[in-house]
Amino acid sequence: MSTSSRPTTHPVSVSAPPRLAAETCLQIYDLMLRARVLEERLITMYKQGDGFFWIGGPGEEAFNVPLGLLVDKGRGVDHDFLHLHYRSAATLLAMGADPVDALRQMKNVASDPYSKGRNFAGHFSVREWNIVPVTSPIEVQYSIAIGTARAQRKAKGITVVQGGDAGTAEGDFATCMVWASRKGAELPVLMIVTNNRYGISTPYAGQHGYEQISDRGKAFGIQTAVIDGNDPEASYAALKQAIAYVRNEKRPFLLEAMVSRLRGHSSASGANLVKDEIDCVARFEERLIERQILTRAEIDRRRETYTNELAEAAKHVRTEAQPTPESAFDYIFAERNLVGEDN
């Protein structure tokens, strides 16, 4: 991709995604399956009363797993910062997170490493890996991402910020584009929109007059692409290219991935299976069987193993201690500048 001109075409092609090696396919598939099984377990926990609320990412695994595999994981400005949203469990698993920790957050036990029983499921925070706390207020991460990206202008790391389609109507999305594209002060930020065509109940057409959200980037001279986020190979290729562009050119990139929302918005709408949405895991399974990378029996076996593992883990998590009432008063003010020790 050239940076001398300000291209307005989509540099990443949507059609004919490059095939990945069988080994990479297997790695991605395995993580997608683990992430799917995790979401199913979280929903079951919710339905059995082992949690107050569920929100998560079934339907985004084909995109979120490659993202987790491709980022430069670590701490401080020389590694990538991730400003994710509440559908990002697959990204965390791909980065190496323990799925049991997600169960702990669901059950709001004191051992929840992401928020110590304080926050909803899917609200991750891992300073060790530059995963800044996922926020409930929609879109604020796009304003905050400007800051980490600015801190990385001369560093090896980049900033990745991700959110849904509806949230881009918030001013913070435009804020990110304005600040990231200033001439001579461009920021190394990969802006991702995972477009599932809904904001809770409001369909895409109900709030966006433009065809694609990424089209908005063109007015800012930001490189853009729209991809099939239900295709892990297309996602992998596009993310690889976009990340390399941001890292090498130190400029923003806006990547829109069309994804599914397989269990509706959240537990508030029942978290039941939605018909007529592409299931990326099932689709990838067919592809892998067709390419003779996996057999149906093997797939079934894996699924059963992971399901049993998490069912056992959930039983154990149920016995873990809840936070004490006094602990509500912990961590109001820091005594030490923890983040200052990261670089």
Partner 1 sequence: MATMIQAIRLALHVGETRLGVTDIFGEDVGAPLGGVFTGTQGLETAWNTPLDERGIVGTAIGLALAGQRPVAEIQFCDYAFNTIDLLKLAGNTYWSSGGDWNVPMVLMTPVGAGIRGSIYHSHSFDATATRIPGWKIVMPSNPRDAYGLMLSAIVDPNPVMFLMPKALLRLKGKPSDLLPGEPEDDKQLASMIDAPLGDRSAWKPRWPDVQELYIPIGESRIARPGSRVTVLTYGRNVPMAVAAADELAAEGIDTEVLDLRSLHPYDWPAIAASVRKTNRVLCVNEDTEVTNFGEHLIRRIVEELFYELHAPPRLVAGAHLPGIGLADALEMASVPQKDGIKTAIRELAAHEP
Binding positions for Mg ion, rule: CB under 5 A: 164-166, 196, 198
Q: Of these partners, ligand TPP, partner 1, Mg ion, none, which one is at the site of residue 175 (CB under 5 to 8 Å by kind)?
A: partner 1
CA distances (Å), origin 224, targets 217, 309, 341: 6, 40, 35
- Binding of ligand TPP by 53 (CB under 6 A): no
- Binding of ligand TPP by 280 (CB under 6 A): no
Of residues 175, 221, 293, 299, which one binds partner 1 by CB under 8 A? 175
Q: How far is the CB of 326 from ligand TPP (least distance, A)?
A: 29
Q: Of these partners, ligand TPP, Mg ion, partner 1, none, which one is at the site of residue 338 (CB under 5 to 8 Å by kind)?
A: partner 1
One DSSP character per residue, 109-149 reads -TT-TTTTT-S-TT---BGGGTBPPP-SSTTHHHHHHHHHH
Contact segment (CB under 8 A) with partner 1 among 115-123, 201-209, 261-269, 304-312 equals 115-123
Total number of residues that touch partner 1 (CB under 8 A):
51
How many C-beta neighbours within 10 Å does residue 311 have? 13
Pattern 20-39, binding to ligand TPP, x per CB under 6 A? --------------------
- Binding of partner 1 by 86 (CB under 8 A): no
Q: Of these partners, Mg ion, partner 1, ligand TPP, none, which one is at the site of residue 167 (CB under 5 to 8 Å by kind)?
A: ligand TPP
Q: Which two tokens stand for residue 168?
A: 């881009």
One DSSP character per residue, 16-81 reads SPPPPPHHHHHHHHHHHHHHHHHHHHHHHHHHTTS-S-----TT-HHHHHHHHHHS--SSSTTS-E
Of residues 12, 84, 100, 132, which one binds partner 1 by CB under 8 A? 132
- The Cα–Cα gap between 216 and 130 comes to 28
- The Cα–Cα gap between 271 and 55 comes to 8
Contacts with ligand TPP, residue ranges (CB under 6 A): 87, 136-138, 163-167, 196, 198-200, 265
